Structure 1
Amino acid sequence: MKKVLWVYSGLLLLIISCSSKGGNPPPTPPETYKPPVVSAAFAKGADISWVTQMESTGVKFYDKSGNQQDLFGLMKSLGFNSIRLRAWVNPANGWCNTADLVAKALRAKAAGMKIMIDFHYSDSWADPGKQPKPAAWAALDFANLTTTLHDYTVSVMNTLKTNGITPDWVQVGNETNDGMLWEDGRASKSMANFAVLIKAGYSAVKSVSSTTKVIVHISNGYDNSLFRWMFDGLKTNGAQWDIIGMSLYPSVDNWADYDSKCLANINDMVSRYSTPCMVVEVGMPASSPDASRNFLTDIITKVNSVSGSNGLGVFYWEPEAYNWQGYGLGAFDNSGKPTIALDAFGD
């Protein structure tokens, strides 16, 4: 009996010991992230205009498991349904010229994506701090400048059409906070001139594709006074547009405030001009993927919530950029894989 009790006691101690060491309850599984639920028509987009240039240098892209993927297919698998591509008139190295634009648009179409064309009306970057004319347009008087903008836009649209591509959206100008084609089209100098250029771009797009929506795009989507100044001025001068486009680049610390102000601005634009809105550029440091995902989840949710389905979409600007030209606001890690930030665009 003592032996039986001793064995029983030993087994009991062994069970207790195992329970205290290796028999702990299983750890609570990590929280499962759920991307925002949006309408079927909501554009979950990315501007990946750098892709062909990156590929030409040997840059490759990988899914989260480390499998090499074509970038367009990879973006589709991550939940994106739209691609934005910039158009430059005569860039020195050829990237983003019409031929390069068409090559990328064909890949986007093959991947089943909607397409946005972003006309910079420049040979290189046009943004709030600079809106340089293409070199070939520099000496033109304003009347000929307007005609040239119109004809160039028609030419690019027709080239896309010949290749079976009808853009869903076209931007006439990029981040035109103070107009474009400076100095003739600088809005603070002559809002009337800027409006004439916008009308020329609008009519050019519609002459090729009446269904394509035309966007006027300015940055700082949180700045309602800037947007009122711009669109009051354009409206007064008879300009036309279908969608108001915005950029939004908050920091890790202020994104919640920026998002709230952006939503208020969108609601004001919808009410004031009876115009839907789209956030056509966002970004946040790739080194802060958790904060970026929180930001993206929030802004996508807010834009989708705009009444009357007047919040049309959100586009990430060059998420695929990693170790590339010093740009730090992409959403891929240094091994070429997407970070969790892009989970916000998932299905």
Structure 2
Amino acid sequence: MKLATKIILALVLIVSCTDSESNNDGQINESIFYKGMDLSFQSELEDYNIDYKDSDGNSVELLDFVKSKGTNLVRLKLWHTPQNGENGLSDIKAYAQRVKEKRMGFLLNLHYSDYWADPGTQTPPLAWQNMTIDEVKVEIYNYTKDVVLQLQTQNTMPEIIQIGNETDSGFLWNYGKVWNEFSDNWVNYAGLVSEAIRAVREIDTANESQIMLHIAGIQTAVPFFSELLPYNLDFDIIGLSYYPQFQTKDLDLITSTLNTVATTFDQPILMVEVAYPFTLLWNDNQNNFIGNINQIIPEFAPTPQGQKAYFEWLITTIKNIPNNKGIGFCYWAPDWVAFSGNENTSTNGTSWENQCLFDFDLKALPALDSFYDN
């Protein structure tokens, strides 16, 4: 082959890889490093016509902009029967179509609750309460199967399906609770998860989706997933959260623990919830999750450059997990800015505006460059 021909073919390959990072049917390549964002608040925030801007102050369309910065995965939470009308299946289906049209990956986060599910609160949907464990197994199977089928029917199958949110304590309390007096209840937790997985696999015969189990604690990952080994659950990804205000701030300990998880279990690791503040100040009338210097990592100042430096460390740490087991990260609520207010007071506040990837003037922060550069 002539040198000129080789150069042309190489240029074509470079353009095709950098333009899309997905194949012809919109599915993300298996080898992709996920640079994700949880944009679950968009179904609500878009009603307020928030004027997100690039770093120069030019107005941007959020989804187009974050894709241009390197985002290749969008996570959306699904509530069964939402108490506030947001994050129901119709919202997820509509936004998933937009994500797929942009040729980005989609992560479906099934909370199996009508509202927030986390280690301290795992309330079953109201419609499932006062049932027997066997009846709940039927419900979780049927519900999961229906959700996945509806997404498949509109050609928006998720790249990743998350079974439960931050299930350190189990989920669907007390049916699948594994904390405190229910610490010997792993058989029921595993049984419920197994039914959800079975529903996904029966619909997803083309293996378009990977299944993830997600807990909040890095340091508790080894004991948690060790408890599940006897049940041989058919899942593909270990999902972990890291928020320094709730976990250790020892960076060496975080690194060593992630490496232990990778060498102990077969599944790769996705850091599915991460964030860091660019300031300790506030821009509305709500208390923030982080507002004290003792809550941040000493190595990274709560400044725009400190936020970026944190993400550069995090991405490097994930990419250095042994055996290429670190497959990416997902920034939680980078868009949940203070909104619908005058000057510095919001009538509909947020506890997160100082951890967003847009500053108080709604201009993109330097940390977004970490998505593009890695």
* Distance change (3 Å), C-alpha of 1:326 and 1:307: closer
- 1:282–1:316 CA contact under 8 A, matched in 2: yes
Q: What secondary structure, in the 3-state scheme, does the structure 2 residue paired with 1:312 have?
A: strand
- 1:133–1:181 CA contact under 8 A, matched in 2: yes
Q: Does 1:326 align with 2:358?
A: no
CA apart distance, 1:67 = 2.2
Distance in 1 (alpha carbons) for counterparts of 2:273 and 2:262 = 19
CA apart distance, 1:93 = 2.4
Give the equivalent residue in structure 2 for 1:269.
261
Partner amino acid for 1:96? N
- 1:119–1:172 CA contact under 8 A, matched in 2: yes
Distance in 2 (alpha carbons) for counterparts of 1:133 and 1:76 = 35
5+ residue gaps, structure 1: 1-38
Given candidates 35, 52, 77, the residue that maps to 1:61 is: 52
CA apart distance, 1:168 = 0.7
Give the equivalent residue in structure 2 for 1:170.
161
Distance in 2 (alpha carbons) for counterparts of 1:66 and 1:52 = 24
Give the equivalent residue in structure 2 for 1:306.
321
Give the equivalent residue in structure 1 for 2:216.
219
- 1:284–1:292 CA contact under 8 A, matched in 2: yes
Given candidates 173, 183, 192, the residue that maps to 2:187 is: 192
CA apart distance, 1:268 = 1.7
CA apart distance, 1:57 = 2.4
Given candidates 233, 237, 243, the residue that maps to 2:227 is: 233
Give the equivalent residue in structure 2 for 1:296.
311
- 2:40–2:87 CA contact under 8 A, matched in 1: yes
Normalised TM-score (structure 1): 0.83
Give the equivalent residue in structure 1 for 2:134.
143
Distance in 2 (alpha carbons) for counterparts of 1:263 and 1:106 = 36
CA apart distance, 1:239 = 2.6
Give the equivalent residue in structure 2 for 1:285.
277
- 2:262–2:322 CA contact under 8 A, matched in 1: no
CA apart distance, 1:59 = 2.0
Q: Does 1:112 align with 2:107?
A: no
Alignment of 1:18-37 (within 5 A): none
Given candidates 198, 205, 226, the residue that maps to 2:200 is: 205
CA apart distance, 1:229 = 2.0
Distance in 1 (alpha carbons) for counterparts of 2:150 and 2:139 = 16
CA apart distance, 1:187 = 1.4
Q: CA RMSD in A?
A: 1.9
Distance in 1 (alpha carbons) for counterparts of 2:308 and 2:97 = 30
**Higher CA-based Rg:** 1
Q: What secondary structure, in the 3-state scheme, does the structure 2 residue paired with 1:346 have?
A: helix
Give the equivalent residue in structure 1 for 2:147.
156
Q: What secondary structure, in the 3-state scheme, does the structure 2 residue paired with 1:338 have?
A: coil
Distance in 2 (alpha carbons) for counterparts of 1:169 and 1:206 = 12
Distance in 1 (alpha carbons) for counterparts of 2:164 and 2:248 = 28
* Distance change (3 Å), C-alpha of 1:182 and 1:99: same
Normalised TM-score (structure 2): 0.77
